[in-house]
Amino acid sequence: MGGKVWLVGGGPGDPGLFTLRGKEVLEQAEVVVYDALVGPGVLSMIPETARLIYAGKRSGNHTLPQETINRILLEEAQKGYRVVRLKGGDPFLFGRGGEELELLREHGIPFEVVPGVTSALAVPAYNGIPVTHRDFCSSVHIITGHKRADSADNLDFEALVRGGGTLIFLMGVRALPEICAGLVNAGMAPDTPAAVLENGTTARQRRIVATVSTLPEASAQSGIQPPAVIVVGPVCSLAEQFSWYEKRPLAGVRILLTRPKQLISGLSAMLRLQGAEVLEYPAITTELTEDKETLDTVILKLGQGDFDWLVFTSPSGVRIFLEQLMERSDLRVLAGVRLAAIGRGSEKELRKYGLRADFIPSVYDGRTLGTELAGICGAGERILIPRAAAGNPELIEELSKGDHLILTDLPLYHTVHRTPRILDETEFLQREDVDFAVFTSASTVRGFVESAHGIDLTGLRAVCIGRQTQREADRFGMRTWVAAEATLESLVACVEQAAAELGLTEH
């Protein structure tokens, strides 16, 4: 099959505004050419197998000239690859998408365009500004504040003022004084409401609402920087009345989440639902151990009825073991085997396979699981424990105190520390631009520290799922909070409590 290019709009930053079609295409990509303004939540969706080419553009700083980007798309498609050109916002709204397609069309390369949610509409909406309103205006005009270097054309401010609709300027922060002066000189009332909206749809979202005559000074005093959207028109007066983004429990809170990639989406969704911006940074991954012969033997014995209990200590253990079991047999071999899970996360993973836990301890840790399970097991019962090769010894220690229990501790997988290819957490840490790191296990703490490239993590705010995880974070000098229970729901509640305690939210 020949190569093809997809021009995909990544939206304004919030990954919840990335389209379903965009995600579908991105997951099939072999080469991804991506921009600076694509949000980290969207970047985290790029498959591990895709080759990455950075083509970021910031004001006055272009990593690659546009002509080079056009040629890269052509050459990669000619090699037969599925190429995704991932752009911030919408590719056909000041995104030079049309220019990128011209060369492809000349050479007969097939392409598709996947529209994206534009910041021109999304950012005002996230700031409580409806770009049209029946009582104020019936039209909206989107203008670029950044002109081509070889163009001497000036904006027709008289025409913009005469149109009477809401004016939205993209890429115009540097030219804000000239834009506002041009509108006033063209006859716009100096007291017309106007706003500049910085970092819209992210945790660092800010808005300055003033008038067209006072906005440049107000913006300068507040230190507004790109990316930002400028809105001019009476609808800006509705911002306070219709504001909603900052009223969510974790609005304005940026969280670094270090859970394994296979498990990260559920917790991310829960935190984002409460208003947090989540930087997904899976600092560890799991790999099956090489001792497949032992695994084959254990699963054969399981089918022969040689085990009374199957004990899971993590969602990863559930997923990996059951996947391996079904490669060799099917779930019928579990008939008559009772299942124990260390907590609600492992129980939830079991339910994905149509299974239910027969036993969950009162406290979700290895010591309690071992103590309480040993208390309900009969003499000589046979227990299989598929888990990480470097598992917590407390579980085995407590089960060994049982009535002649027969234990099979199966090293099923290794936890491997990894550094994600795109999101560089050191950049955020050095800027002190992360409010909390959230850890769901001691191994995620160790993986995160190893990938932090020698950065002093003393004082980093860390929210931990349990005491063992907290002890590991304390060891590196982090300032820690621990969830009341070892559940994701309790972990999210703990983040909310810590944010409120520190005055990071209004709640």
DSSP letters spanning 54-121: E--EETTEESS-HHHHHHHHHHHHHTT-EEEEEESB-TTSSS-HHHHHHHHHHTT--EEEE----HHH
Class of residue 106 by CB neighbours under 10 A (exposed 0-12, middle 13-18, buried 19+): exposed
Q: Are 279 and 254 in contact (CB under 8 A)?
A: yes
Q: Are 369 and 395 in contact (CB under 8 A)?
A: yes
First and final CA of the chain: distance in angstroms? 55
Among 414, 358, 370, which residue's Cα sits nearest to residue 391?
A: 414
Instruction: Select, from the ranges 37-46, 233-242, 413-422, the one with the highest average predicted confidence (pLDDT).
Output: 233-242
Q: Are 350 and 315 in contact (CB under 8 A)?
A: no
User: What are the residues whose beta carbons fall under 8 Å from the beta carbon of 116, sequence distance 6 or more?
Assistant: 8, 9, 10, 11, 18, 19, 22, 87, 88, 89, 90, 91
Position 391 scores a pLDDT of: 80
Kindly report the average pLDDT of the chain as a whole number.
Answer: 90
Residue 128 phi, psi (nearest 5)? 75, 20
| pLDDT confidence bin for 421, thresholds 50/70/90 | low
Q: Compute the distance between CA of residue 127 and CA of residue 306 in angstroms, rounded to an integer.
A: 62
Position 168 scores a pLDDT of: 98
Q: 416 is written with which tokens?
A: 């491997």
Q: What are the tens digits of pLDDT across the range 257-297?
A: 887 666 667 899 999 999 999 988 876 777 888 788 888 89
Sign of the dihedral through C-alpha 254, 259, 262, 267 = negative
Position 430 scores a pLDDT of: 63
Q: What are the tens digits of pLDDT across the range 156-205?
A: 999 999 998 999 999 999 999 999 999 999 999 999 999 999 999 999 99
| Residues above pLDDT 70, as percent of the chain | 93
Q: Compute the distance between CA of residue 316 and CA of residue 286 in angstroms, rounded to an integer.
A: 8
- 436 beta partners: 255
Position 60 scores a pLDDT of: 53
| SS3 assignment, position 389 | coil
Position 432 scores a pLDDT of: 72
- Is residue 411 pLDDT above 70, yes or no? yes
For β-strands 382-388 and 406-417, DSSP reports them as parallel
Greatest C-alpha distance within the chain: 91
Is residue 87 annotated as a catalytic residue, yes or no?
A: no
Task: Walk me through the domains of the chain, giving residue ranges and CATH numbers.
Answer: 4-117 (3.40.1010.10), 121-246 (3.30.950.10), 254-283+418-501 (3.40.50.10090), 295-416 (3.40.50.10090)
Q: What is the mean pLDDT of residues 336-342?
A: 95
Q: Compute the distance between CA of residue 357 and CA of residue 311 in angstroms, rounded to an integer.
A: 9
Among 54, 441, 397, which residue's Cα sits nearest to residue 264?
A: 441
| pLDDT confidence bin for 64, thresholds 50/70/90 | confident
The C-alpha angle with vertex 376 and arms to 373 and 380, in degrees rounded to 5, equals: 90
Position 44 scores a pLDDT of: 87
Position 460 scores a pLDDT of: 93
Position 1 scores a pLDDT of: 61
Options 57, 87, 90, 435, the catalytic residue: 57
Among 142, 151, 209, which residue's Cα sits nearest to residue 170?
A: 142
Position 150 scores a pLDDT of: 38
- 231 beta partners: 168, 195
Instruction: Give the lowest-confidence range in 80-84, 248-252, 350-354, 421-425.
Output: 421-425
Helix pair angle (344-351, 315-328), 10° resolution: 30
CA distance readout (Å), 193 to 190, 237, 331, 392, 473: 9, 6, 65, 61, 48
Q: What are the tens digits of pLDDT across the range 342-351?
A: 998 899 999 9
| pLDDT confidence bin for 327, thresholds 50/70/90 | very high
User: What are the residues whose beta carbons fall under 8 Å from the beta carbon of 356, sequence distance 6 or more?
Assistant: 339, 347, 350
Options 35, 90, 365, 435, the catalytic residue: 35
| Residues above pLDDT 90, as percent of the chain | 72
Residue 45 burial (CB count, 10 A)? 18
Q: Which residue has the tokens 């004084």?
A: 177
Q: What is the mean pLDDT of residues 432-446?
A: 89
| SS3 assignment, position 233 | coil
- Is residue 212 pLDDT above 70, yes or no? yes
Residue 197 phi, psi (nearest 5)? -120, 110
Among 331, 352, 198, which residue's Cα sits nearest to residue 263?
A: 352
- Is residue 151 pLDDT above 60, yes or no? no
Is residue 57 annotated as a catalytic residue, yes or no?
A: yes
Q: Compute the distance between CA of residue 256 and CA of residue 214 in angstroms, rounded to an integer.
A: 37
- Is residue 14 pLDDT above 60, yes or no? yes
Position 425 scores a pLDDT of: 59
